[in-house]
Amino acid sequence: MAELLKVENLRVSYHTYAGEIRAVRDVSFSVGENEIVAIVGESGCGKSVTARSILGLIKKPAGEIKTGSKIDFNGENVLSFSGKRRQNYLGGECSIVFQDPLSALNPTMRIGRQIVENILVHRSISRNEAMVEAVRILGKVGIDDPERRSRQYPHELSGGMRQRVMIAIAFSCRPKLLIADEPTTALDVTIQSRVIELLRELHRETKTSIILITHDLGIVAGIAERVYVMYAGKIVESGSTSNIFYHSQHPYTKALLASVPRMTMANKEPLPYIIGTPPDLAVPPAGCAFAPRCKHCMNICVEQQPEPVAYGSGHTLSCWLQSLEDAAL
């Protein structure tokens, strides 16, 4: 599969009164053409900062992409984009759907017009043609009576419909890559699965590659081909979705999987959760960041970072349990 996006050794910091927050700490991953990958991890692990970096949205001087970080899109260096090239890329070739459509949409502009304005920035068609296209796309994302709806304002729509509008905007310029950052977190469960189904359908039709960002491993299974598990600014395990679901090796991935609600759970059975909290990224630990929460923690885990090691084809993890087992062979 040809590579569309390649991120290598990405390091991103925020400079705050509390010191330098190392939000993303040496992250490397790739997304193929026509591929859906998921980035999964608890709140604060660096998922959105990674997404903002890919879009070129890290703002100086508070935010800093460190020297040596690389983001290539279709062979071009995203970090060098400026002016027209940046405008074409952002929202045109690469677009994003955020968690909260209400704050991402303009409350004072009719939704049809919001789609039209986006199309006009990126595509060479007339305003009238863009309006026809906007109504067509609204229909495509499952909005009933799209012509009438296109004249409504965001507050007149339900949460699920607003998210469909965001997806319509994101797809209106036929991007090569869509980043969906927690697209269903603000929605209730039945609407969540419809939005995921919509993304899957649009992907099938348009071949747009998708990075699905979520803290909920449960929604990943039916849509992503590969999964990257992030913890404290690092990718700790990656592999095909079946590697991660059926053969996960990293204690953090296993704990995340254990906290996914199951159909077999008894009524009122409390949801398992991972005890403890992620580390403060202003003072990142010398060793494995998961050590204080890991029941397998050894002395070496606290002292030294585990490096990524392969566990079968396309399956990689960073954990001393695996590194020491490999060394013993």
Ligand X SMILES: Nc1ncnc2c1ncn2[C@@H]1O[C@H](COP(=O)(O)OP(=O)(O)OP(=O)(O)O)[C@@H](O)[C@H]1O
Binding positions for ligand X, rule: CB under 6 A: 14, 16, 21, 23, 41, 43-49, 62, 215, 281
- In whole angstroms, how far apart are CA 211 and each of 29, 178, 180, 224, 313? 11, 6, 6, 9, 21
14 binds, among ligand X, Mg ion, ligand SF4, none (CB under 5 to 8 A by kind): ligand X
Which amino acid, residue 266? A
Print the binding letters for residues 179-218 with ligand SF4: x by CB under 6 A, - otherwise: ----------------------------------------
Least distance CB 145 / ligand X (angstroms): 34
Please name every residue paired with 309 in a beta bridge, in sequence order, or none if there are none. 317
DSSP assigned state of 305: P
Which amino acid, residue 25? R
Least distance CB 156 / ligand X (angstroms): 28
Q: Are 198 and 142 in contact (CB under 8 A)?
A: yes
Q: How far apart are the first and last CA of the chain?
A: 32
- Of the two residues 48 and 114, which places its CB atom closer to ligand X in the complex? 48
Print the binding letters for residues 226-265 with ligand SF4: x by CB under 6 A, - otherwise: -------------------------x--------------
Q: Are 172 and 116 in contact (CB under 8 A)?
A: no
Name the residue among 314, 264, 228, 232 with its Cα closest to residue 28.
228
Q: How many CA atoms lie within 13 A of 160 on its CB side?
A: 15
Whole-number Å distance between alpha carbons of 179 and 54? 9
Print the binding letters for residues 40-79 with Mg ion: x by CB under 5 A, - otherwise: -------xx-------------------------------
Least distance CB 281 / ligand X (angstroms): 5
297 binds, among ligand SF4, ligand X, Mg ion, none (CB under 5 to 8 A by kind): ligand SF4
49 binds, among ligand SF4, Mg ion, ligand X, none (CB under 5 to 8 A by kind): ligand X
Print the binding letters for residues 273-302 with ligand SF4: x by CB under 6 A, - otherwise: ---------------x-xx--x-xxx--x-
Whole-number Å distance between alpha carbons of 163 and 213? 15
Q: Are 203 and 212 in contact (CB under 8 A)?
A: no
| Span 108-127, contacts to Mg ion by CB under 5 A | none
Q: Which residues does 293 contact at the CB level (< 8 Å), separation at least 6? A: 252, 255, 274, 275, 276
Least distance CB 138 / ligand X (angstroms): 28
- Of the two residues 62 and 189, which places its CB atom closer to ligand X in the complex? 62
Q: Are 233 and 318 in contact (CB under 8 A)?
A: no
Least distance CB 250 / ligand SF4 (angstroms): 6
- Of the two residues 14 and 311, which places its CB atom closer to ligand X in the complex? 14
In the complex, the residues that contact Mg ion under the rule CB under 5 A are 47-48
